[in-house]
């Protein structure tokens, strides 16, 4: 055993010697033979090495260096092999280089800054934007291979510090990653670690202090069903300034109140409206006593007379254009339109609060315990004596006061002259997000079923169909319906939609659908599932060992009432029993009966939102499995040969 270990050590030292003595262009330590097996398991890519170096020179200026190497194990990892670096007047790229290595660590190709493509960062909805992007891809497909990139960026503004998130996605293993933050000894920078218990290594010399974090040998994460996002389960360290500068604007971010003061400073004095708009505000609100009604009238005026266009120039990426600019040009970005709505309400004597928020349907909430700029959008908050009105000012079609899944159920930073304060936006629960469906159906002798469907969608349940109504043609909507319904073969003969705009918006949908071969026929028997349109498609598998909590997002209630008219001469041979299931995750019930020649079916499901411990996952599996089965229970009908006037035979 001893001689075997000595031999293995000799081989390893030999490789290290070769790597050291080989041409500078090769890096044999990137050879896949140096990859531990536990890092290859479940991985599409492996972060071989990574070094973040952030050097804060002074408030308003910093240098950031990022060097990393990724080994791409298969085609699924290709999407992460390219380089994408955005820059603008605040982020100046000083140097970029890249190298491609084969499986043995031998260099295949090297690129420098002049070889990197440079494109406009304008996204198609921006009128003006000084963002640009450096991109590069080796387009290599011989697996495994390794790409190494090094980027140096000068920060001409320090409102944002790069975070350290070494394992930012699934199926990514990390062999080594480090982050070093260096700043003047007297500067009080801030950091907060999540899912990472180790303290940083601290070094002080020549008036500077450096903090270094490092991880090694993190196996790839494969997220479990309904597990939290990666920012909740993988190591993450956030960094934030105290004093900072952006284009001659000075601020502090020690607290949410301090950050709010800076944001308020950027918008202060930009609420002056042209006289013609002031007159319009007075005209619209004259004789209206209800505050919400005034807000609604002015919000709809905003929607009818402006449109969203992104404008990202310098500090304008964070500072709204003034109200007169929007009034004259009739467009603006989220900041400008929010400030314009603020100005309209101010003219009407209604106080409101400018707010910044992290927007996105699937975006996780900010880390409320670490003041920093975690926001990407602006909205307006209108405090009321009994309720608060929130306004999404970039959507020309949204109902007044509705935030929905894009900006609902998360924290926003509302600001005034006193500073900022975190406030939770509306949470839409089981009583808000409903799908109430009534179906009258007629079953034909050949198994075809004709459906007359009336559905009322509310809250988040109406959002997808509303987006199609607002942004698609009737032909596109017909194509959607022709593909969306869960039937093998069907035809939508007619459809209509009626929208009701209110705090919890509604859409009423009417469909006429013909479904061929819905019921199956075997001899004298007819088999059909009475739950025609609302079968739950989720069937979970139990984990042997559950690692992560269970997170259910998006509470809702579905209720189906179905009446199916049967062809004459059938009676029930087998009927499913009524089902009632109660769980911490929600409730489910159904019931079916036959009265005369009609089947009557009722189904209700209430799905709760929340986070639950990993030990409760088995209960969720059982709950979903029971629903899956109950939703697919069949009725067996048999031809009643003794029925009056019926001939024998089927």
CATH number at residue 485: 2.60.120.1130
Tokens of residue 583, six digits: 């769980």
The stretches of 419-541 forming alpha helices (DSSP H) are 463-471, 474-484
Residue 451 lies in a domain: yes
Helix/strand/coil for 101? strand
| Percent of the chain residues past pLDDT 70, beyond the cut | 92
Residue 5 lies in a domain: no
Looking up tokens 């469909």, which residue turns up?
Answer: 511
Is there a single domain that holds both residue 239 and residue 273?
no
Separation between Cα atoms, residue 563 and residue 440, nearest integer Å: 5
Contact between residue 103 and residue 145 where contact means Cβ atoms under 8 Å apart: yes
pLDDT of residue 365: 96
Q: Does residue 146 surpass a pLDDT of 70?
A: yes
Among 195, 225, 246, the domain boundary falls at 246
Is there a single domain that holds both residue 397 and residue 522?
no
Is there a single domain that holds both residue 221 and residue 300?
no
Higher model confidence: residue 41 or residue 8? 41
Residue 19 lies in a domain: no
pLDDT of residue 2: 43
Indicate the pLDDT class of residue 569, thresholds 50, 70 and 90: confident
Is there a single domain that holds both residue 221 and residue 327?
no
Looking up tokens 């002015």, which residue turns up?
Answer: 298
**Cα angle vertex 98, ends 96, 100, to 5°?**
175
Q: Does residue 333 surpass a pLDDT of 50?
A: yes
pLDDT of residue 130: 60
Is there a single domain that holds both residue 188 and residue 325?
no
Indicate the pLDDT class of residue 317, thresholds 50, 70 and 90: low
Q: Does residue 254 surpass a pLDDT of 50?
A: yes
Separation between Cα atoms, residue 628 and residue 649, nearest integer Å: 35
Q: Does residue 47 surpass a pLDDT of 50?
A: yes
Q: Does residue 579 surpass a pLDDT of 70?
A: yes
Is there a single domain that holds both residue 263 and residue 237?
no
* Structural domain for 625, as ranges: 434-639
pLDDT of residue 316: 56
Is there a single domain that holds both residue 391 and residue 268?
yes
User: Measured over all CA atoms, what is the biggest interatomic distance in the chain, rounded to whole angstroms?
Assistant: 105
Residue 1 lies in a domain: no
Predicted confidence (pLDDT) per residue in 447-499, tens digit:
999 999 999 999 999 999 999 999 989 888 988 898 889 898 999 999 999 99
Residue 649 lies in a domain: no
pLDDT of residue 486: 87
Rounded average pLDDT over 72-90: 93
Lowest mean pLDDT among 29-33, 177-181, 200-204, 311-315: 311-315
Is there a single domain that holds both residue 202 and residue 67?
yes
Lowest mean pLDDT among 26-30, 206-210, 431-435, 488-492: 26-30
Is there a single domain that holds both residue 465 and residue 316?
no
pLDDT of residue 437: 98
Contact between residue 446 and residue 473 where contact means Cβ atoms under 8 Å apart: no
Q: Which of 83, 104, 89 is nearest to 33 (CA)?
A: 104
Among 358, 389, 424, the domain boundary falls at 424
Higher model confidence: residue 24 or residue 468? 468
Q: Does residue 386 surpass a pLDDT of 90?
A: no
pLDDT of residue 315: 59
pLDDT of residue 647: 42
Among 223, 246, 269, the domain boundary falls at 246
Predicted confidence (pLDDT) per residue in 516-563, tens digit:
999 998 888 999 999 999 998 788 888 778 999 999 999 999 999 999
Predicted confidence (pLDDT) per residue in 265-308, tens digit:
999 999 999 999 999 999 999 999 999 999 999 999 999 999 99
Is there a single domain that holds both residue 532 and residue 488?
yes
Contact between residue 322 and residue 271 where contact means Cβ atoms under 8 Å apart: yes
Q: Does residue 597 surpass a pLDDT of 70?
A: yes
pLDDT of residue 258: 97
**Cα angle vertex 241, ends 237, 243, to 5°?**
170
Instruction: Name the pTM for this structure.
Output: 0.89
pLDDT of residue 234: 97
State the average pLDDT for the chain: 91
Residue 51 lies in a domain: yes
Rounded average pLDDT over 375-379: 95
Residue 487 lies in a domain: yes
Partners of 99 in beta bridges: 110, 148
Is there a single domain that holds both residue 241 and residue 263?
no
Tokens of residue 283, six digits: 């005209």
pLDDT of residue 12: 43
Contact between residue 405 and residue 462 where contact means Cβ atoms under 8 Å apart: no
Q: Does residue 5 surpass a pLDDT of 90?
A: no
CATH, residue 212: 2.60.40.3140
pLDDT of residue 310: 77
CATH, residue 269: 3.10.620.30
Rounded average pLDDT over 175-204: 97
Residue 263 lies in a domain: yes
Helix/strand/coil for 277? helix
Indicate the pLDDT class of residue 132, thresholds 50, 70 and 90: confident
Is there a single domain that holds both residue 140 and residue 240?
yes
pLDDT of residue 119: 82
Number of domains in the chain: 3
Tally of residues, the chain:
650
């Amino acid at each position: 055993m001893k001689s075997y270990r000595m031999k293995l050590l000799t081989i390893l030292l030999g490789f290290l010697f070769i790597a050291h003595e080989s041409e500078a262009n090769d890096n044999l330590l990137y050879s896949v033979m140096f990859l531990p097996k536990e890092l290859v398991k479940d991985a599409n890519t492996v972060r071989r090495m990574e070094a973040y170096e952030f050097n804060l020179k002074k408030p308003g200026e910093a240098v950031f260096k990022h060097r990393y190497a990724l080994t791409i194990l298969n085609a699924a990892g290709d999407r992460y092999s390219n380089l994408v670096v955005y820059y603008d007047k605040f982020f100046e790229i000083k140097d970029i280089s890249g190298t491609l290595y084969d499986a043995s660590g031998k260099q295949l190709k090297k690129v420098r800054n002049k070889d990197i493509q440079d494109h406009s960062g304008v996204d198609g909805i921006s009128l003006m934007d000084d963002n640009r992007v450096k991109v590069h891809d080796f387009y290599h497909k011989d697996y495994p291979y390794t790409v190494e990139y090094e980027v140096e960026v000068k920060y001409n503004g320090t409102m944002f510090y790069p975070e350290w998130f070494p394992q930012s996605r699934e199926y990514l293993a990390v062999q080594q990653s480090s982050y070093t933050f260096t700043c003047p000894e007297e500067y009080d920078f801030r950091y907060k670690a999540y899912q990472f218990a180790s303290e940083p290594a601290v070094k002080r010399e020549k008036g500077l202090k450096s903090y270094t974090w490092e991880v090694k040998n993190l196996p790839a994460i494969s997220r479990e069903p309904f597990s939290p996002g990666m920012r909740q389960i993988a190591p993450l360290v956030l960094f934030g300034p105290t004093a900072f500068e952006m284009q001659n604007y000075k601020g502090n971010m020690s607290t949410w109140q301090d950050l709010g003061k800076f944001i308020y400073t950027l918008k202060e004095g930009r609420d002056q409206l042209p006289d013609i708009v002031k007159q319009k505000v007075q005209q619209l609100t004259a004789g209206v006593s209800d505050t919400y009604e005034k807000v609604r009238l002015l919000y709809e005026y905003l929607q009818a007379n402006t449109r969203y266009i992104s404008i990202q120039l310098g500090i304008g990426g964070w500072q709204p254009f003034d109200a007169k600019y929007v009034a004259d040009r009739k467009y603006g970005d989220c900041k400008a339109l929010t400030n314009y709505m603020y100005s309209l309400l101010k003219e009407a004597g209604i106080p409101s609060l400018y707010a910044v928020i992290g927007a996105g349907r699937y975006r996780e909430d900010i880390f409320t315990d670490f003041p920093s700029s975690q926001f990407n959008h602006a909205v307006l908050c209108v405090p009321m004596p009994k309720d608060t009105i929130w306004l999404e000012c970039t959507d020309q079609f949204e109902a007044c006061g509705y935030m929905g899944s894009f900006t609902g159920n998360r924290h926003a930073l509302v600001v005034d002259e006193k500073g900022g304060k975190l406030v939770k936006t509306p949470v839409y629960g089981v009583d808000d997000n409903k799908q109430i469906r009534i179906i009258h159906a007629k079953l034909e002798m050949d198994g075809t079923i004709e459906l007359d469907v009336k559905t009322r969608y509310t809250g988040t349940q109406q959002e997808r169909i509303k987006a199609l109504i607002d942004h698609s043609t009737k032909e596109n909507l017909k194509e959607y319906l022709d593909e969306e319904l869960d039937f093998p073969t069907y035809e939508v003969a007619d459809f209509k939609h009626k929208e009701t705009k209110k705090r919890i918006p509604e859409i009423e949908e009417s469909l006429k659908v013909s479904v061929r071969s819905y019921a199956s026929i075997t001899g004298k028997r007819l088999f059909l599932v009475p739950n025609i349109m609302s079968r739950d498609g989720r069937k979970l598998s139990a984990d042997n060992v559950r690692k992560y909590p269970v997170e259910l997002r998006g509470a809702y209630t579905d209720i189906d009432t179905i009446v199916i008219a049967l062809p004459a001469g059938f009676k029930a041979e087998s009927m499913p029993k009524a089902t009632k299931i109660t769980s911490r995750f929600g409730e489910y019930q159904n019931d079916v009966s036959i009265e005369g020649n009609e089947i009557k079916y009722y189904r209700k499901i209430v799905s709760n939102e929340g986070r639950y411990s990993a030990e409760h996952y088995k209960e969720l599996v059982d709950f979903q499995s029971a629903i899956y089965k109950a939703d697919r229970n069949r009725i067996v009908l048999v031809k009643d040969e003794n029925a009056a006037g019926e001939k024998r035979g089927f």
